A = this chain, B = another copy of it.
Amino acid sequence: MNTEADSIATMVNGQAAGTVPVFDRGLQFGDGVFETIRIHRGKPVWWEQHVERLLYGCRQLCFSRVPNVSLLFREASELTAKVDTGVLKIIITRGNSNSGYAPPQDTRENRILIVSSGQRHAVQADKGIRLGLCEQRISSAPGALSGIKHLNRLDQVLGRLECVNHGWDEGVMLDQEDHPIEGTMSNLFILKENSLLTPSLEKSGIRGICREFILGHAHKSGFDTEECELGVDDLLESDGLFICNSLVGIWPVRYFIDRSYENNERSMQLRRTVEEAMCS
């Protein structure tokens, strides 16, 4: 895990800077969106997909302007060019105000870029991870907020705290109807014979870039895919489990609650496919 000491560079609205005004609405209300993007050999991986989700989020939040993509790309490239392996975080907030919840009409968004070197989450993917079940639920907010990677992330912070306290590598989070939705920082897949099942994200959860990649490419590895409503029992009774995100790719699960999954070979094959796509 990185500490601040690892971070290489920060940029705010195109300038080398490490602070934002206290009036920034990201700070005040979580009024913004973000992406964490893997850097491989100086380049942000799956850039177009991340930016597409970022812009979609800005539109869902009714920002009066969306960020200029080519400007964002120039700024990101400048920061990542000399980084072999790392993480680029982009935060776009609605801008500054001191007016309460009401968004000011003519605000300019704030663009915050943070580049950190090194791998953020180092686990031994080969052995499979330990997955727990969080008590903290995912808040459901069907409508504008569903699926987007906005800055209201207390559910995940509290879920992640449970992982740390229990020594889990990751934790499954349920919605309020007891359906597994995602991990604290990842999406979730179940292997069942030749099918990959992943929770439907109609009502809550984040549409992960790696999840989308897997849904689009798994058939090449011989899998059908389905987005559906799942229960915890579906996870326990599956042939295998893995979690994914665009920083780590795929992590096969070795343990979930009292179940162990002995053979991760098919997840590992998919992991290699994803890694190839990310590092090509």
Contacts and interface: CB of A to CB of B under 8 A. Distances in A.
A176 B34 CA distance: 26
Contacts of A185: 100-101
A144 B151 CA distance: 18
Copies in the complex: 2
Contact of A30 (B7, B12, B21, B151): B151
Contacts of A6: 98
A21 B17 CA distance: 9
Contacts of A163: 102
A18 interface: yes
Given A22-B12, A22-B19, A91-B28, A61 B98 contact: no
A147 to B, nearest CB: 13
Interface stretch (A112-120, A233-241, A250-258): A112-120
A89 B93 CA distance: 20
A140 B204 CA distance: 11
Interface residues of A, number: 70
A104 B93 CA distance: 24
Contacts of A26: 27
A265 interface: no
Contacts of A98: 2-4, 6-7, 114, 116
B136 A144 contact: yes
A161 B100 contact: no
A150 B154 contact: yes
A3 B2 CA distance: 38
A201 interface: no
Closest 7 CB pairs of A and B: A30-B30, A152-B152, A19-B19, A101-B160, A139-B139, A29-B153, A139-B141
7 contacts: A1-B99, A12-B22, A18-B22, A22-B91, A98-B114, A101-B184, A140-B140
